[in-house]
A = this chain, B = another copy of it.
Amino acid sequence: MRGFGLALGASMALSGAMAQMPQRTPTPNDTLKSPKVMADNRVAIQIYAPKATEVTVGGDFSSTYKPISLVKNEQGVWSTVLGPLRPDYYTYTLMVDGVRTMDPKNPVIKQGISSLENVMAVPGAETAFEDNRAVPHGQVREVWYSSGSLNMMRRMHVYTPPGYEQGNGKYPVFYLLHGAGDDDSGWNTVGRAGFILDNLLAAGQAKPMIVVMPNGSMPMPPATGQANPMQGLSTMRDMFANEFLKDVMPYVEKTYRTLPNRENRALAGLSMGGFQTLDVSLTRPDLFNYVGVFSSGFFGPSIDEAETKYSKALNDASFNKNKKLFWVEIGKDDFVMDANKKTLALLDKHKIKYQYKETTGGHTWINWRQYLNEYVPQLFK
Are B1 and A271 in contact (CB-based, < 8 A)?
yes
Does any Cβ of B come within 8 Å of A53's Cβ? yes
Question: Known: A1-B179, A144-B137, A336-B17. Is A233-B8 also a contact (CB below 8 A)?
Answer: yes
Smallest CB separation, A199 vs chain B (Å): 12
Smallest CB separation, A166 vs chain B (Å): 7
Smallest CB separation, A103 vs chain B (Å): 10
Are B111 and A107 in contact (CB-based, < 8 A)?
yes
Partner pick for A229 among B10, B102, B133, CB 8 A cutoff: B10
Are A7 and B180 in contact (CB-based, < 8 A)?
yes
Closest to A363 in B: B1
Question: Known: A113-B107, A115-B107, A116-B109. Is A12-B233 also a contact (CB below 8 A)?
Answer: yes
Does any Cβ of B come within 8 Å of A96's Cβ? yes
- Band of interface residues on A: 35 or more
Partner pick for A104 among B10, B99, B132, B272, CB 8 A cutoff: B99
Are A48 and B99 in contact (CB-based, < 8 A)?
yes
**Contacts of A1-55 to chain B: CB distance below 8 A:** 1-8, 10-17, 20, 47-53
The stretch of A121-129, A280-288, A297-305, A313-321 in contact with B is A297-305
Does any Cβ of B come within 8 Å of A153's Cβ? yes
Assembly CA distance A175 to B3 (angstroms): 23
